[in-house]
Amino acid sequence: MKTKVIRITVFFVVILIIPIFTLFGEKETVSYNENKILAEFPELSLENWKSRSFMNGMSDYFSDHFILRESFIKVKNSIEKALGKTEINGVIENDGYLIQTFKGINYTLTDRNIASLNKLKAKNPDTPFYFMPIVTAQEKFKEKLPSYLDVTSESEYTEYCFEKLNGIEKIDVSREICSIDYAFYRTDHHWTTDAAYEAYLKLSDTLGIVPFSKNTIQISTVSDNFKGTLYSKTLNEKIKPDIIKVYKSDTNFRLIIKDKEYNGLYFNEFLNEKDKYSYFLSGNHGICTVKNDDSEVKKKLLIIKDSYANCIIPFIAEHFSEITVVDPRYCSHTQIKEINPSEYNATLILFNVSGFSSEQNFPIIEFMGEKQ
């Protein structure tokens, strides 16, 4: 009899009490741990009801606002790991790191992106172009990953891209990056500032500039509790939070985003937010401009990039009076037509290999300079 009562009580809690608390409990608009905007309550109308969009919206709403949702997700992921599942939302845990797997290259998209890059170079034959793809943590830890994962060889993918470039200088920094211990964040898909510095040294050789030494700048830790995008996908509390370092000089920089101007390239307010990587350049922008007011050499650089570039740009900016930063993922055709590579001393393309292989908006760069 007691067992029957317990079963009925549990059934009552699951079927009635939990939905009530979910529906009427206090709501958040953003899940900072999962780094996502939570679904809003759907609008009820006859049209939405007939099209089932209301029911689909309710499903998303209850899924996002389910009471104790994050606790349930953590338990679910722990159970799946205990049952032998090694990959959670495209992320595996290995040697104290969360690693985003890179599988199944989209060669059609890759070829299209490289073709767009070659077209842009052909339109600007007198401007030096440099292509510097950045490997991810998967490449560094590839020997330790289970063979059954069948992940993509990032070094082979890099060579594939290099072979298809026309008139564009290739910069391979994979060895320099993977040679250092803390090259990638444990909980995030980005590389660390230390890794970016190693790539900067290799880039300096290619560009013919003299890199600054670590002894001439201030290196400090600005955060020791960074939990990045890969933590958001897994909510894995066993992984040690990351530290974020900054390499600061006395150079006076200005960052111009649209019509607003900021002093400096680092934004402390983000260190108190979930997205701490936005400390560098305040995150991603379609187009922004970095100006070095102390530069004695009046040279301009164009950078076409993804978010990996954000922490290396302050290093490169030491050697140019002005850098225009273009992120094709957030650009409109109108914006990008304003940028003409022929007006710059050089153009640098910097993407992580996984991002470059899947970026659908990259061909927008073909429209650069068309307004002129």
Q: Which tens digits make up the pLDDT trace of 104-125?
A: 888 999 999 999 999 999 999 9
Q: Which residues, in sequence order, are bridge partners of residue 288?
A: 257, 325
In this prediction, residues 37-44 reach a mean pLDDT of 58
Tell me, yes or no, whether 157 lies in a domain: yes
Weakest mean pLDDT among 30-34, 131-135, 274-278 = 30-34
279 and 195 co-located in one domain: yes
The percentage of residues in the chain with a pLDDT greater than 70, rounded to a whole number, is 77
Confidence bin at 35 (pLDDT 50/70/90) = very low
Same domain, 158 and 206: yes
pLDDT band at 256 (very low <50, low <70, confident <90, very high): very high
For the chain, how many structural domains are there in total?
2
Q: Is 351 a residue whose pLDDT tops 50?
A: yes
Using the predicted structure, report yes or no on whether residue 7 has a pLDDT greater than 80.
Answer: no
**Token pair listed for 253:** 């920089």
**62 and 210 both lie in a single domain:** no
Q: Is the pLDDT of residue 242 over 50?
A: yes
Structural domain includes residue 97: no
pLDDT at residue 145 in the model: 85
CB 138 within 8 A of CB 101: yes
What are residue 84's phi and psi, to 5 degrees? 105, 0
pTM of the model: 0.82
Reported as a pLDDT band with limits 50, 70 and 90, residue 181 is very high
CA 307 to chain centre: 5
Residues facing residue 346 across a β-bridge = 301
Residue 24 has pLDDT above 60, yes or no: no
Contacts of 52 (CB under 8 A, 6+ apart): none
pLDDT at 151: 84
Strand boundaries in the chain, DSSP class E? 30-31, 36-37, 87-88, 91-94, 97-100, 129-131, 169-170, 218-226, 242-248, 253-257, 260-263, 287-292, 300-305, 322-326, 346-350
Above 60 in pLDDT, residue 277? Answer: yes
Do residue 262 and residue 172 come from a single domain?
Answer: yes
Report residue 259's pLDDT band, with 50, 70 and 90 as the boundaries: confident
Residue 75 lies in a domain: no
Residue 64: which pLDDT band, with cuts at 50, 70 and 90? low
Domain of residue 32: give its range.
2-67
Cα gap 120→115, rounded to integer Å: 9
Distance, in Å, from the CA atom of 271 to the CA atom of 364, rounded to the nearest integer, reads 32
- Do residues 49 and 114 share a domain? no
Say which residue the tokens 């172009």 belong to. 129
Same domain, 181 and 314: yes
Q: How far is CA 351 from the centre of its chain?
A: 10
Domain stop point among 67, 84, 113: 67
Mean pLDDT (the chain) is: 85
- pLDDT at site 90: 84
The answer as to whether 77 is a domain residue is no
Are the C-beta atoms of residues 80 and 169 closer than 8 Å to each other?
Answer: no
pLDDT per residue as tens digits for the range 74-93: 555 555 555 455 677 788 88
pLDDT computed for residue 117 by the predictor: 98
**87, part of any domain:** no
The label of the residue with tokens 């978010």 reads 307
How are the residues of the chain apportioned to helix, strand and coil, as percentages rounded to the nearest 5? 45, 20, 35
Provide the pLDDT confidence category of residue 354 given band limits of 50, 70 and 90. very high
Residue 229 or 2, more confident: 229
Query: Out of 44-48, 258-262, 368-372, which region has the weakest mean confidence (pLDDT)?
Result: 44-48
Q: What are phi and psi of 327, to 5 degrees?
A: -110, 100
Q: In Å, how far from its chain's centre is CA 174?
A: 18
Q: Are residues 36 and 130 in the same domain?
A: no
In this prediction, residue 235 carries a pLDDT of 86
DSSP for 247-314?
EE-S--EEEEETTEEEESSB-GGGGGSS-GGGGBTTS--SEEEEEETT-SS--EEEEEE-GGGGGTHH
Whether residue 221 has pLDDT greater than 90: yes
Question: Which residue, of 16, 39, 67, is where some domain finishes?
Answer: 67
Instruction: Please report whether residue 86 resides in a domain.
Output: no
| Domain co-membership, 333 together with 274 | yes
Question: Within the chain, what is the greatest distance between any pair of CA atoms?
Answer: 87
User: Are residues 120 and 32 both part of a single domain?
Assistant: no
pLDDT of residue 297: 84
Contact 82, 92 (CB under 8 A): no
Question: Rounded to an integer, what distance in angstroms lies between the CA atom of residue 189 and that of residue 320?
Answer: 28
Place 148 in a pLDDT band, splitting at 50, 70 and 90.
confident
